[in-house]
Amino acid sequence: MEQWSNETAEAKAWFESLRDRICAEFEAIEREAGSDASFDYAPWKRVEDGNDNPGGGVRGVMKGSVFEKVGVNVSTVHGNFAPEFAASVNGASAESPGFTATGISLVAHMANPHVPAVHMNCRFLTTGKAWFGGGADLNPPIPYEEDTADFHAALRASCAKHNPTYYERFSKWADDYFYIPHRGCHRGVGGIFYDHLECTDEAAFERNLAFTKDVGEAFLDIFPRIVRRQMDSVFDEADKNVQLEWRGRYAEFNLVYDRGTLFGLKTGGNIDAILMSLPPEAVWR
């Protein structure tokens, strides 16, 4: 893992720059709505017995008039997986449980039911192997074809710059992954999801980092445009009830099936940052 320390630092720096630009854009949207809401940032440190450098991160949360609750987390952590968990992680094992992980994770829950919620994350991990993963997916309580088409078009374009097979493969992966088996439905209208883009050498690292950057840039371009399109839409109590019930499904997926939630809990992450993805309000009927 030591051999990838420079690459981890490079990925971390970019994730932080993406966070800063996303948060600035979201705050600008709040200003356009007449709100002075801004992100509150809380640094946290990971704790691991016998580890003098376990890492940590910064959790950023904003609660405004457009973004009812949005969290943007960046973390860089180092340590050892628990033996029983190590076997489930690419390149790790009970005999070789060491890891380093850096990444950005974002979840936005919107005040207006006509504005879609969204999830985005990008990450770089090293165990006995090194790889990138990530993606973005749109989660509207009330779907609009134009929003869905534009979101997918942005991600399709980011994929096409790197590999003609990426979009088809990764959009299907998102459809398969963001599915709630016990409800028999998808969490949203999809996007892309990818994992284990392995970096066997410096050239592979640069290729996969470039792709991951384009995914992040595509998100930063398209999601604010969708928000601005829908944020002044009129909604009523029935629309809000649809949103609240849909949020219950979202919470179920994140607590039962989401691999990022499990990874954070299994590696001693910050609980508030891990559960930041949960909606501020939801109902079950």
pLDDT tens sequence across 95-150? 788 899 999 999 999 999 999 999 999 999 999 899 999 999 999 999 999 999 99
pLDDT of residue 174: 98
Mapped onto helix, strand or coil, the DSSP state of residue 51 is coil
pLDDT of residue 7: 96
Mean pLDDT check: name the lowest of 84-88, 119-123, 131-135, 240-244.
Answer: 84-88
| Rounded Cα–Cα distance for residues 218 and 215 (Å) | 5
pLDDT of residue 98: 86
| Rounded Cα–Cα distance for residues 165 and 75 (Å) | 30
pLDDT grade, residue 68 (50/70/90)? very high
Using the structure block, give the residue that is written with the tokens 């499904």. 249
- Tens of pLDDT, residue by residue over 107-118, are 999 999 999 999
pLDDT of residue 274: 84
pLDDT of residue 144: 98
Mapped onto helix, strand or coil, the DSSP state of residue 79 is strand
| Rounded Cα–Cα distance for residues 38 and 65 (Å) | 11
pLDDT of residue 38: 98
Reply yes or no on whether the pLDDT at 216 is more than 90.
yes
pLDDT of residue 271: 87
Asked if 215 and 136 touch (Cβ cutoff 8 Å), the reply is: yes
Angle at 267 between CA 265 and CA 270, to 5 degrees: 60
Reply yes or no on whether the pLDDT at 284 is more than 60.
yes
Looking at the chain, the whole-number percentage of residues with pLDDT higher than 70 is 99
Can you say how many angstroms the Cα of residue 182 is from the centroid of all Cα atoms in its chain? Answer: 23
Mean pLDDT check: name the lowest of 21-35, 245-259, 269-283.
Answer: 269-283
DSSP bridge partners of 206: none
DSSP bridge partners of 57: 44, 75
pLDDT of residue 1: 55
Average pLDDT over residues 174-196: 96
Average pLDDT over residues 64-71: 98
Reply yes or no on whether the pLDDT at 239 is more than 80.
yes
Pick the CATH number of 2-277 from 3.40.50.2300, 2.40.340.10, 3.40.1500.10, 3.40.640.10: 3.40.1500.10
Parallel, antiparallel or unpaired: strands 117-126 and 130-139: antiparallel
pLDDT of residue 201: 95
Angle at 99 between CA 94 and CA 104, to 5 degrees: 135
Active site amino acids: 119
Angle at 211 between CA 87 and CA 214, to 5 degrees: 125
| Element containing residue 249 per DSSP (H, E) | helix 237-256
Asked if 218 and 159 touch (Cβ cutoff 8 Å), the reply is: no
